[in-house]
Amino acid sequence: MTLVRPPFPSLLCPSPCPSVSSLLPLPGASPADSNFRSAPVCGRVSRLFRLYFRGGGGSDACASSFRVSRRVPWAVHLRASRSRARGAMAMNYNAKDEVDGGPACAPGGTAKNRRPDNTAFKQQRLPAWQPILTAGTVLPTFFIIGLIFIPIGIGIFVTSNNIREIEIDYTGTDPSSPCNKCLSPNVTSCICAINFTLEQSFEGNVFMYYGLSNFYQNHRRYVKSRDDSQLNGDSSALLNPSKECEPYRRNEDKPIAPCGAIANSMFNDTLELFLVGNGSYLTSIPLKKKGIAWWTDKNVKFRNPPGGEIPLEERFKGTTKPVNWVKPVYMLDSDQDNNGFINEDFIVWMRTAALPTFRKLYRLIERKSDLHPTLPAGQYYLNITYNYPVHSFDGRKRMILSTISWMGGKNPFLGIAYITIGSISFLLGVVLLVINHKYRNSSNTADITI
């Protein structure tokens, strides 16, 4: 081993640095041993020593096992020292220590450090691929996005505009509205009628929706206020609803079926549509109330309590109706295939909306003949049984008639979004093409003056 002395006298380097072997503790030596603690160490070797033999977690209790003095000679040739230190490290290597982050702490010491596991994922050694961004790859990408998105956006926008839709607000806040009389707090049920005109005929199947505004069905407590086991026909949940339904879990010491705030606030206005003919003769428009719910909801999620041929009223025996309902759940419809928990109006309402302004499917107007439009242009009469109060939370109610297309209902935003993104991409491609053409022959090197 070659020792190196400083070329000048120094108070910090009174003697040559010893070899690394003198730094290693003797077998059975403890931190309290004077021979162990008094071993002189060179500055560079001390750093190497601390790097290889530090305790887990960096705590004083653990690191004290390898504490050494800093009053050491100035320098030493580390070639032999490093080889010996590596040999000592190899003898003391433990694969589990590498995974755990170091050797375990001595009794009374702090916990192990939080060094990540020595795996390819945690050490970021997974194979990766990163494209090289050049003008030859970036410019075609922008142009391709623009050429694809713009035609798609135009097609979606034109299709959306071809959908026929009309909205009739019947909240009644306007004093001139026929439904304004229904806002009186003393009125529990009210009937009003609104006349409107269809300027164009509605072809194909027509969907009637009811719409609500400023109604937050997405509130967390509201969304959780239901018992899916009860709605699935579970007999035990029928008589012992979930605590999530509070405060609409029990009423008059009887379990509520269906329980929860969602069911308690079910929409219950009645809408009827008539075509005004010659001489003010009214022709009723047939509204189909079945087929408006999702098949999975109707046949899987919502089931009546089991009972076979037992009347539905007997199966709900021992329960009571929700607080705000006029009649119990087993009297929602005279058709037993659309009654109880499998009533489609009820199922549609129980699927909560994500935004405070929403619409839900109310009825379906089917096309009967290819020779005649489903709803011809002309005067119509909407008869409303006004039961659902919205004035207390500044809400609004509306009736919507709409046709559909291959992309669903009317949605101009989607087409506008496609056109906007495509146009921006195409314009960026043009700008970058001009910049590349102007500066591609410029030198990338610069003269450096000193």
The pLDDT mean for the chain works out to 80
Q: Which residues of 243-259 are buried (b: 16+ CB within 10 A; e: fewer)?
A: ebbeebbbbeeebbbbb
273 neighbors 254 (Cβ within 8 angstroms): no
Instruction: List, for residues 190-247, the tens digit of each pLDDT value.
Output: 999 999 999 999 999 999 999 999 999 999 999 999 999 999 999 999 999 999 999 9
Confidence of residue 409 (pLDDT cuts 50, 70, 90): confident
Q: Assign 3-state DSSP to the chain and report helix, strand, coil percentages, each to 5.
A: 35, 15, 50
Contact 85/49 with Cβ under 8 angstroms? Answer: yes
Q: Tell me 405's DSSP state.
A: B
Per-residue confidence (pLDDT) for residue 416, from 0 to 100: 96
- Residue 187's Cβ-side half-sphere holds a number of Cα atoms within 13 Å equal to 16
pTM above 0.75, yes or no: no
DSSP 181-240: GGG-TT-SSEEEEEEEEESS-B-S-EEEEEEEES--TT-HHHHH---HHHHTT-HHHHHS
SS3 category, 46:
helix
Residue 127: alpha-carbon gap to chain centroid: 30
pLDDT at 400 over 90: yes
63-76 pLDDT per residue, tens: 444 344 444 443 33
In which band, very low, low, confident or very high, does the pLDDT at 112 lie, cut at 50, 70 and 90? low
CA distances to 29, 62, 86, 119 from 49, in Å? 17, 15, 10, 25
Burial 192-219 (b: 16+ CB within 10 A, else e): bebeeebeeebeeebbbbbbbbebebee
Whole-number Å distance between alpha carbons of 97 and 311: 70
* Apex 322 CA angle, 242 and 353, nearest 5: 75
Name every residue whose Cβ is closer than 8 Å to that of residue 201 and which is 6 or more positions away in sequence: 164, 373, 374, 375, 376, 377
Distance CA 118, CA 222 (A): 46
Per-residue pLDDT at 67: 42
- Predicted pLDDT at 439: 86
| R_g of the chain, CA atoms, integer Å | 40
Higher pLDDT: 200 or 370? It is: 200
Partners of residue 402 on adjacent β-strands: 165, 207
Q: What is the enclosing helix (H) or strand (E) of 378?
A: strand 378-386
Q: Are 442 and 191 in contact (CB under 8 A)?
A: no
- For the purposes of burial, counting CB atoms within 10 Å of the CB of 130, is it exposed (0-12), middle (13-18) or buried (19 or more)? exposed
pLDDT of residue 178: 92
Mean pLDDT, range 131-145, rounded to an integer: 91
Quote the CA–CA distance of 382 and 213 in Å, as a whole number: 20
pLDDT band at 28 (very low <50, low <70, confident <90, very high): low
Residues in the chain: 450
Report the C-alpha gap between 74 and 162 in whole angstroms: 88
Which residue, 357, 338, 354, 335, is CA-closest to 346?
338
